[in-house]
Structure 1
Amino acid sequence: MKKLLILALCSSFAFTSCVSSKKYNELAAKQKNTQDLLNSCTVKLNECLTEKTAASVRAKQLEERLADMRQTNQDLIQSSKELTMLTSKGATNLEKSLESLKEKDLKITRLQDALNKKDSVTLALVTSLKKEVGINDPDIEVNVEKGVVYISLSDKVLFKTGSYEISGRANEILGKVAKVINGKPNFEAMVEGHTDNVPYRERNGLIDNWDLSVKRATSIVRALKDLGVSPERLVAAGRGEYDPLVPNTTAENRATNRRTRILVLPKIDQFYDMIEKEMKTLEKQG
């Protein structure tokens, strides 16, 4: 499937472009921190699952031993009170061990539920976008990359060559995207503009491909704002020619690299707080 490319430059390059880049870098840094935390959680989860498997085997052995000890206990009560007391103490310790294993299993389940909840929200969002935007258009792709839902649009769907003016068809598609975003108040939308490496001839106040990518991203952001998406939830970013999907060696590859991506992602602060809270809870119970 072809991927889309969007480029845009802010109306005032010296001010708007810098602000957009700063917002993008901040969000990218937060996203990286979140991804690192997720990776850490995944590693810890895998370790816990391994421990759980071993603990389950141990628990079964303990349960069998406990049953034997209880039977032995009943027999020994008849002959020795002291021995009965020692056996009861041993049984109590085993019961405490089983209870500890159950608590650990509960911790693993809670962490798994938190990750499953995030995955469920992502899946629901992808389903909504595919339903609204459509999945049979080769110039439109809805997918998940590193836990982030994105819509990739070919530049021919959105803009004319070298232009940042949105087409009529683009407005139709963006209207559907805006509907999904507005239905997810805890999500933000980041628009990324991408170009190929063919040098852009300076005109209309645009200097290069980077300028064009930023201006295109800004055009999409404004369109989403006009369609009712809160501007506080929108970020415009231009990647220029510096994040290609494929080498710019053929006309077809260059067309693939000319794209616009709309990333729909949970508000980083809220998601980070959720994971951090869950990790602290596990540490206190550990």
Structure 2
Amino acid sequence: MHEELIEALRGRLPDEFSTALLDGAIRVLADPANRIRLNQFAGSMRELYTYILHGLAPDDNVRRCPWFAEQRDARARQDRNLTEAELNRPTRRQRAMYALQGGITDAQIVAYGFEPDDARSEFLDAIDELNRLTHVRPEAIFDDLDEVARRATEILEALKNFYQALDHCRESISETIIDAVRETAFGELTREAIGELDILSQHTFVEGPTIDQIRVLGIDADKIYYVITGEVEVTLNYGSGEDGVSMNDAFPFELTMEAPVAESDKFENIVCQVDTGSFYE
């Protein structure tokens, strides 16, 4: 078993319980005398997959998504035997969709340059495989060590790849909003010059921000949440006329803001913080 793969997964798991599930599954798998070790491994991993998916995609959040009602109606047309309770209960596919992209529609997320189908399919296919292995039947017992290792590795890699897909989805969104972020940052930092930056000199001019990183902190049914970090370059002016002195300096800043899922560059609830501590050192 690949230790690097297991450690990579441990680093992404949300809490002690999920880590205990993973560690227990690995310990069972390590017992070559146990002929149903792969099946028992699959049982623990199925619980881990389910626990993670429900944590990333709570029922109420999924139901609030703009795309949920449309999919619910489509399911009702396809299968008229489904009850209201069944239609209102998010499917695994809908949970995986929410975990990846929140309330953003597939059409929107593809426009951002991210293809969600492969990421969702690999994750859901792994759950189907876990369900098959969990039901222990003579044909579901594998004695070949290489076959056991191969199947277990595929299951672990599918979970790792799903986490990576979460990152890639958010990176795709970040790349599409860079120009809007730069414009917003300049506006906010110019306003900041009236307050926190302006006290540094008689006349403080904001030359412009350098964006170091745009991170999508989260996506829920309604909003995308961002944090932007970088450096703002300023000119500090003292005195006037021939006695005037100008100095250039730069200070780190952080912007937190959010945007509706339908308009990823329409920012609101913007909070700007500039760290001018180095000026006083």
User: TM (normalized to structure 2)?
Assistant: 0.24
Larger radius of gyration: 1
Q: Which has the higher strand share?
A: 2
Q: Higher RCO, 1 or 2 (CA under 8 Å, sep at least 6)?
A: 1
Q: Which has the higher helix share?
A: 1
User: TM (normalized to structure 1)?
Assistant: 0.24
